[in-house]
Amino acid sequence: MAVNRNAEPELSFIQQAQNGDRDAFGGLVRRYYSDVVNVVYRLCGDSGLAEDTTQEAFLRAWVNLPSFHPQSSLRNWLYRIAVNAALDVLRRRSEDTAGGEKMQGLPDQAVGPETALIEKERVIFLQNAILSLPEACRRVLILREYGELTYQEIAQVLDIPLGTVMSRLNYARNCLRETLKEEWLQTENEYV
């Protein structure tokens, strides 16, 4: 669980940003950019789309910042906005594309081209497995695995009961395990 990093200056930044200070808001963006863009990327599966969606999320955050309670967790609030923004983008996008966002897994340049190709295929396979999860379960899984939120925080961010968080996470992991079974066996055989 992420704790309030430099809580005192952050509170001051939030209050200044609420009063319209753009530099203070820039400071907050600097602090949370990598967390937010990473979660959005895992939801979208496309780096360019993730950057655009993250920008959209921070714009929404700026507009709605006066209604934010400084005592709450800004990170969780930003995650909520970012997840909603990502889902809006994905919904719009799914109308254009038949399905399956593309994954841009970069092969490790240090290994040989064949290994790099295999590695890239594995990454794409895994990312597509994540993207094929039901939306509600995917959100929970990503906030847990990449957002590193606690169950309680996920429940707050997504506005769902704690029991639902657990059941969705359980379902998502089971689905992934089923999908990745062959991949898994392959991995184990490689190591044997």
Partner 1 sequence: MCEEMLPLLNVYLDGELHGIHLMHLEEHLVTCASCREELEQLRRLSDLLHALPTPQFIPVDRFVANLSLNLPRRSSNARPPRYAAWIWWLVPTGLVFAWFFVQTVLILSGTISLANATNLLGNATAWLSGGTQHTLWFDAMSSVLGSQAGSSPAAFSFLDQLSVFGANLLMQIFWQGVIVLLFWAWLAVWWISRRSQLVQSDASHQRS
- Name the site residues for partner 1 (rule: CB under 8 A): 18-20, 22, 25-26, 29-30, 33-34, 37-38, 41-42, 47, 50-51, 54-55, 58-67, 80-81, 84, 104-106, 108, 123, 126-127, 130, 144-146, 150-151, 166-167, 169-170, 173, 176-177, 180, 184, 187
Nearer to partner 1 among residue 22 and residue 98 (C-beta)? 22
Buried b (16+ CB within 10 A) or exposed e, 153-169: bbbbbbebeeeebeebb
Least distance (Å) from partner 1 to the CB of residue 2? 14
What is the Cα–Cα distance from 107 to 51, expressed in whole angstroms? 21
**Nearer Cβ to partner 1, position 67 or 98?**
67
- Note whether 51 and 37 are within 8 A (CB): yes
Least distance in angstroms from the C-beta of 7 to partner 1? 21
Our CB check for partner 1 shows the closer of 95 and 180 to be 180
The smaller minimum CB distance to partner 1, of residues 94 and 152, is found at: 152
For the four alpha carbons of 12, 18, 22 and 25, in that order, the dihedral sign comes to: positive
CB of 135 or CB of 148, closer to partner 1? 148
**At closest approach, how far in Å is the CB of 81 from partner 1?**
5
The residue written with tokens 């910042």 in the block is 65
Tokens standing for 18? 């609420």
Q: How far is the CB of 186 from partner 1 (least distance, A)?
A: 12
Cα distance between residue 156 and residue 92, in whole Å: 26
Rounded to the nearest angstrom, the gap between the alpha carbon of residue 67 and the centroid of all alpha carbons in its chain is: 24
Q: Tell me how many degrees the CA angle 154-123-78 measures, rounded to the nearest 5.
A: 25
Q: What is the smallest separation between the CB atom of 86 and partner 1, expressed in angstroms?
A: 13
